[in-house]
Each structure stands twice: as structure tokens, then as C-alpha cells.
Structure 1
Amino acid sequence: MPLVRFVVLAILCYGLGACANLPDRAPDYTPSLKPLAPASSGPHRFLHADGTRIVDDAGTPMRLRGVAFGNQVYGKVRLPVRHHDEDDYARVAAMGMNLVRFYLYYGTLESDAAPYQYLADGWDWLDRNVAWARAHGIYLIFNVHAPQGGFQSLGAGGALWREPENQKRFTAMWRAIAQRYANEPVVAGYDLLNEPNVLRDKREWQQLAQATSRAIREVDTRHPVIVERVNAVAGRWESDADMNFVTIEDPNVIYTFHFYEPFRFTHTHAPWANMQNVEGGQWNAGGAATLRREMAPYLAWGARNKVPLYLGEFGLVRYAFEDNRNGLAWAADMLDLAEEAGLPWTWHAYHEDYFALYYGDQKSIAEATPNQGLIDLFKTKLAPQ
């Protein structure tokens, strides 16, 4: 390998602490350090869907790269002030990124004891983040990650689908968010619901997404609505011929999907996924072709329907960066694939316990443990000096 490439790889491995004193042989497949084209910069402008592209209001195609702010939604923290502050937006920008997918717990804005009455300190928290993002050239995508009725991804949020009142509250809250930020170009879009996990049929999500979009359009016609594919139907995780996407009638809609393939690798030893005893192995030279093959059906759906796609989540459990499993090479291959496909993207996640640039969900950033190798990889590929 060229000396420069070897030195950079050594720095990445040293920062990560994953390439020394380990029982397995060192990986023979090194992370791609090929720089990516720079993210779009300049003054914030309203974004919208234009065929298969996302463009600004001058018609300029946007190159959006970023990371998710998890905001301690899994712990239902109303005001996650220990999760991040303005300095973290500066860190995101220093990595060459221009986008944050901002996770929302409905309790930040609304109490179950007083539905439809939105909390002033919740608005203040969102306003503060909009100001921080503006100061550092970052766009925000608001994403309801934990809605009325429960977090969806693990199948425990059935109350959203069983109880019509939860859906009414969900739609009304989105209308309130859109009304407040209708004239705010820092907000790149409204990502309605994370990983919908419906009870009977994916049309349940299609109908709720359509109703929510119509409510938003009553007060905001400028921002894109972002609609995710269905994650699971009645506990079944397989995809249909349309990759579980649903479509809605809206003049400005972006469709999003998440990508954690191969799951055995990205979730190696993940306890919440019953993977404690599953070893994902080492990422190798054949991996890039695997990723391309697994992503092809999503890209084909977007091209067939002539709509823009957004890679809302991809990432690796912390164990994939340990014991020479070579997670950095997977991350680099994914960045190259997203560049090749022209996808806007957000890495999951910035600060939490398992999928993170900074580990320690209950700790402040100053107390958290950095995944330094991954941070350096982003800087090398997105913001080369």
C-alpha cells in the first residue's frame, strides 16, 4: 500500500484503538480514503424535490451529508441539553457535513396530560438548535423518532395504529411544527416518522402520512415532506416488490430508507437485536459489491418512480470497530456507494451508547468516549486538508 495511505490508516486505527493488541489477524482490506466531492455550502435556502433530485430554490442541486442527533429519545428525555450544544454543530461542520437529522420525542412538545397544548420550553429548545445550525451552515431535518403511541422500530409502538387519537395528535403536532418553521430555510424538511412498524398493512402508514402531509400543507407549502418506507408489517420484516415504500400525493415529497446491510455485520453482538452471541466477522474486499447489490432495489424503486431518495440512516454498532472486524472499511465503502448513487445521507448517530461518534448516551460530550477513528475517517473523506 502507498506510504501516505498506510500512514493515514495507521492514524485512523490509533485514534480508534482497534488495530493493536487484538487476537485476530489484522484486516487485509483497508478503508477507502478517496475524498468525496464537498457538501453544498453557502447561505441557507429553501430546498425542494425536483424529479429525482433535491435542489435549492435557485434550482441548484444540493449535496447533503450529515449525522443524526439522537437527542436521548430512547430514554424519553424531554429537553436533551446534555446531548449536544452549539459546539457540536461546529464539530459537524468541521467533519465536512452540512446536515443534521434531528430526532424528536413527542414529549418535548406535548404532554399526555394536556394534548394539543405545545410546551414553550420545547419550542425554545428547537429554536435554539435552529439558531446553532444557522450559525454553522448546517441544515436540520426534523424527524419524529418517538411519536404518540410509542417508538416504532422494535414493534412496541402499536398504540399509534390502534388508537385514532394518537394519530390525530401526531398530525396536529406536525402541523404546529410546520406552522412555526414555515419561513425558516435552515429546516431542510419534515421527516414524518421513523421506521413505521404497522399492525396489518402498509396502507396504514400511507393513510397517516397522507393525512399528515395535508395538515402540513395548510400552513407550509415550501418545505419537503419526507416519507419513510414501512419497516415491518405485523412483525414481518421482509420487503415487498416496492421495498415497502408507500407514496403520497404531494408536490414536494422526498422518500427515505435506512440501510444496515449486512445486518449480521452492522449489528454484531447488539443486545437489543438478540445478536449477543452472533459474530459478524471481518469486513473484507468483497464487501463493496455486496453493499451495491443490496442497495440496488432501493435505487431502482426511486428511479422507477422518478422521486428523490434520502439515505436517512446507516451505521455500525460499536463492536464492529473492535477486534479487527474492520468497521472503518465498511463505513468508507458506504460513503463511496452513497457518493456513486448521488444520495443525500445522515449517519446514525452522533452521540449515544452503541451507534455513535461519541459513546455515552447519559454523559455530556465532554464526558463521552469519541470513536476517533470514525471521526477521522469522515474528516479525511469529507473535509480533506
Structure 2
Amino acid sequence: MTRRLLRLWIGAWILGAAAVAAEPVPFHRGIGISHMLAWASVEPNRAFTFPPFAGDDRTMPPAEMRRLKEAGLDFVRLAVDPGPFLQFTGWKRDWADQFLVDTVQGFLAAGLAVVIDLHPSDLHPAYESKDLTAGLRSPGFQGYLGLVARVAGLLSGIGSPRVAFELMNEPTIAPAAWQPMLEAAYRAARSRAPRLTLVLGGGNQNALAGLTEMDTKPFTGDPAVIYTFHDYDPYQYTHQGASWNAAANLADVPYPARARPPGESLEATRRSIARSDIKAEGKPAAIASAVRQLESYQRSGFDRPDLARSFDAVSGWARSRNIPPDRILLGEFGARLTPFSGGAAQQAERERYFRDMRELAEANGFAWSAFAYRGLGGFALARDEVGPGLDPTVARALGLRQIEAAPQRP
């Protein structure tokens, strides 16, 4: 099919579908699943390990899936590393494709809807986000387009309205650069899956500006599109101690900003830097920088009204484009566990953060997906970080039921 004919065909489908009421959205309360099919391991020769995603730490028995459903969640956002699917050929690629389908069907059988999230990792240099989004005509992105079409076909073949496809997690490029690639990925998915629900996010790592700067005209009238954004504000709290973030050297940071005296965070941060592997000559500068961040955060008084402003901005953006609120997904939010997280005050702050985020999303009519069940980088929401089941503090904050014992069914 030529590109011109494909555009005409998609356009005709959209016009026809616009006259039909959109199907009810089956995604409301979700959780990210990152331990099963994401961050695939790589051999020294840069070949992905086969079979990919193997090991006891990557499994999730049906009873554990059902436990999430019984707690009150209705979908999972399943992160999938595109690297193996792009590198494998022949029977290995067929095996990986079937493994993906089987995993989706396992969650569906447990009563959970599924958003498949193509989630590039940084473990293989040829398949990082920056290489897959190097340009519309770049080999990496062209290969990615082929994968998008193939996965869309696989998911469409499952034949369930409870399956959606997120075309790329957190593109690292600017919204204007991502826009033509997003449109190309959308067309690729629609070429194989005319009615599959697609989840579209903007550039700048799915940040608020990435969404609000998106040109939605190419998708107007498509009743099977959901728009997504991620929100990790305030970073001083959510990413404290994360080596890849500006908050790397911060410790025992509260939420809200003035929940506890600032001296507690300052002292904990100084001790953390003193024990770190930062070279001795660099520690004074690290402490000075961290102190500036903490003082700025404390002065800001960051609290729920500051979180609410982001949600208000998304709601205004959606209204201006006649996008129903149930077609908006807060695709990620969360906060790292740290050595201080077990304290009573810190547990109360963690509960307040998750409750504020959940309540604000629901008040605006948005779906949400907390990150993540077993968390890479310290973002675990599972009981004891590995499960089964959710941490009680998180479960309360997210308005979920406490499931103390695993279901007895096999």
C-alpha cells in the first residue's frame, strides 16, 4: 500500500469512526509492571540474552496477578524492552512475539486490562531512546516503525478491547522533534491495527510540556486514542538519592516541603555525602549544591496545590481540544524508597504524596498508573519491595483494598 493510499485509508476510517460513540475506557487504576519484560540483559558481545526475560525474579504467577485485581486495580502498564524484538530474527523473534502475547493473555485472564508500553532501556547502546529517535529517516527509527507495526498487529490479534498500545515511553527529545516521529508511529500502528487503543505521549520524557505542546490534529476524531503524561514533581522528594537525577545527593527530604524542620534533611544529606564515594576534594562542592537545593525546596513550600496546578493545566489543554478526561492517562508517578523511608514521619509523608496524586488524577477524571510494582531504581510499591501484594501504606494511599493473604486458587 502506498503512503498516499495509507493516509486516505486511515483518514476514511477516522471519519467513519468519529460518528460512532467511543467505547468505554477500561483503564482507570493501574500499576507499572517493569520487572517482567523490561531492561533485557545483554551479553558481552552485545547480543541480547536468549531467552530474554528469563529468571525467577521476572516471573509473576497468576495468583499474584489476581491479587492486584482483587486489591482494586483494573489494569497494568507493562513495560517492554524493544531491544530484543528489534535484534532477534527468525525463530527467536517469533518466540519473543509469542511470549509477549502469552504474557498479555495471562494478565487478561487475571481480570486486568493491559497497556503495552514500548520502553527503551540504556543497557544496549544501539537501542537506547536517543538512538531510536535520532530522526525520522534514521535507521534506528525506521526499524522502530517496523516493530510498532508488528506489535500493533500482535495486540490487535488478541481481539480484546482491554488491550492498549503505548508507542514509546518517555522520548528524550524535544516535542517539536518528536511530533513527526509520533505521527509516523501512529500511522504504522494504524496500518496493522485500525481499532486498537493507542496511547500517545509527547517529547521531553512525557513531561507536562511534552503533552501540552503536542499537535493533536493528526489524531482528531480517532475514538481509540488516549493521551499520556508523567509527573514526578517535586523531584527533590520523588528522586532523592537517585544517581541519575539532580537530587542524587539529597537525603530524608519530606513531602510537603515544610512537613518537617529543614535541619533534618540538611543533616541527613551531609551524612550521606560524607559516606558516599564522591572524591574527598569534591565533597564540599556536593554539600554546597545539595544545601542550595534543599533551601530552595523548603522556601517553595511545595504542597498539594502545587501538584494541582499541573493537573489543572492538563485539564485545560484537554478541554481546549475536546478531549474527554477519561482519555487522559497519568502514566507514571512515584517516589523512591530510601534508607529513611521506614520512619513513622516518612511513611506518613509517602502516604500523603501518593494519596494527593491519586486524588488529583481522579478529581480531574484521569486514569492513573503508579510506578512500579517491583521497582527498578528504588520505586517499588510491592510489599517488602518484591511482593506478593502491595505495601500497605501505598495501598491505603491509592484507595485500594488490603489483601493480606494470597488467593487460594492455583
Shared fold (TM-score, shorter chain, > 0.5):
yes
- 1:123 matched to 2:147? The reply is no
Cα deviation for residue 373 of structure 1 reads 2.4
Aligned partner (choices 266, 272, 277) of residue 244 of structure 2: 272
Cα deviation for residue 274 of structure 1 reads 3.6
- 1:226 matched to 2:199? The reply is yes
Residues 79-135 of structure 1: per-residue CA shift (max 9 Å, x gap): 2553232233112202201111111111342316x4x98712212321222221121
Worse-superposed segment, 278-287 or 142-151: 278-287
Aligned partner (choices 247, 258, 277) of residue 216 of structure 2: 247
Cα deviation for residue 219 of structure 1 reads 1.8
- 1:142 matched to 2:116? The reply is yes
Asked if 2 retains the 8 angstrom alpha-carbon contact of 1:110 and 1:117, the reply is no
- In structure 2, the CA distance between the partners of 1:180 and 1:111, relative to structure 1 (3 Å rule), is same
Q: Structure 2: 5+ residue runs without aligned partners?
A: 1-16, 42-51, 260-300, 404-410
Q: Which runs of 4+ in 1 moved over 6 A?
A: none
Aligned partner (choices 281, 292, 311) of residue 295 of structure 1: 311
Asked if 1 retains the 8 angstrom alpha-carbon contact of 2:101 and 2:154, the reply is no
Asked if 1 retains the 8 angstrom alpha-carbon contact of 2:131 and 2:140, the reply is no
More helix by share: 2
Asked if 2 retains the 8 angstrom alpha-carbon contact of 1:143 and 1:191, the reply is yes
Amino acid at match of 1:296: D
Worse-superposed segment, 122-131 or 282-291: 282-291
Q: Distance in 1 between matches of 2:373 and 2:70?
A: 14
SS in 2 for 1:218: helix
Cα deviation for residue 349 of structure 1 reads 0.5
Q: Distance in 2 between matches of 1:134 and 1:301?
A: 32
Amino acid at match of 1:382: L
Aligned partner (choices 196, 202, 211) of residue 171 of structure 2: 196
Cα deviation for residue 264 of structure 1 reads 1.3
TM-score using structure 1 length: 0.71
Q: Distance in 1 between matches of 2:374 and 2:383?
A: 6
TM-score using structure 2 length: 0.67
Q: Distance in 2 between matches of 1:187 and 1:194?
A: 20
SS in 1 for 2:35: coil
- In structure 2, the CA distance between the partners of 1:360 and 1:245, relative to structure 1 (3 Å rule), is farther
Matches within 5 A, 1:39-58: 56=23
Asked if 2 retains the 8 angstrom alpha-carbon contact of 1:313 and 1:348, the reply is yes
- 1:310 matched to 2:329? The reply is yes
1:76 is matched with 40
Residues 142-191 of structure 1: per-residue CA shift (max 9 Å, x gap): 11111795444xxxx24531571111111111111111221421653211
Amino acid at match of 1:65: R
Amino acid at match of 1:129: T
Q: Structure 1: 5+ residue runs without aligned partners?
A: 1-49
Aligned partner (choices 374, 377, 402) of residue 351 of structure 1: 374
Percent identity between matched residues is 19
Amino acid at match of 1:192: L
Cα deviation for residue 261 of structure 1 reads 1.3
Amino acid at match of 1:255: Y
Q: Relative contact order (alpha carbons < 8 A, sep ≥ 6): 1 or 2 greater?
A: 1
Amino acid at match of 2:77: R
2:293 is matched with none
Cα deviation for residue 356 of structure 1 reads 1.3
Query: Highest Rg: 1 or 2?
Result: 2
SS in 1 for 2:117: strand
2:82 is matched with 106
- 1:92 matched to 2:46? The reply is no
Amino acid at match of 1:374: V
Amino acid at match of 2:59: H
More strand by share: 1
RMSD: 3.3
Asked if 1 retains the 8 angstrom alpha-carbon contact of 2:226 and 2:329, the reply is yes
Q: Distance in 2 between matches of 1:295 and 1:64?
A: 16
Aligned length: 313
- In structure 2, the CA distance between the partners of 1:228 and 1:118, relative to structure 1 (3 Å rule), is farther
